[in-house]
Amino acid sequence: MDNQDEILQAWLGTLLEAFEIADIDVDVHAVLNVAGVAAHSIVRPAAPLTTFVAGLAAGLAAGSGQTSEAGAMKAALGLAKRLAAAQAPTVPAAPAAE
């Protein structure tokens, strides 16, 4: 684990403890992956906005008993990633070599 991963894990622990949800398992790399797709497909500031809304949706779904916490996070991150990827600008096809 490199220093950045250690720092992120420590920060995640601090956040989870402060919000009194320390027993929640968060896949940091999945969250960062969704943020990266949003940043590259839409605009950079879409990354925190996308992950916030996905987290809020997951929390509401789990809190209302619709699904487990893990299931809610997986579904919310998956939907956010698909929506962001669908917004990616299309790259024109390269001309055929002659």
Q: Tens digit of pLDDT for each residue in 35-55?
A: 999 999 999 999 999 999 999
Q: Distance between CA atoms of 39 and 3, rounded to whole angstroms?
A: 23
Confidence of residue 57 (pLDDT cuts 50, 70, 90): very high
Query: Can you tell me the distance from the alpha carbon of 59 to that of 25, in angstroms, rounded to the nearest whole number?
Result: 13
Least confident piece of the model among 24-38, 47-61, 80-94: 80-94
Q: How many CA within 13 A on the CB side of residue 81?
A: 13
**pLDDT score at 94:** 67
Number of Cβ atoms within 10 Å of the Cβ of 52: 12
pTM comes to: 0.84
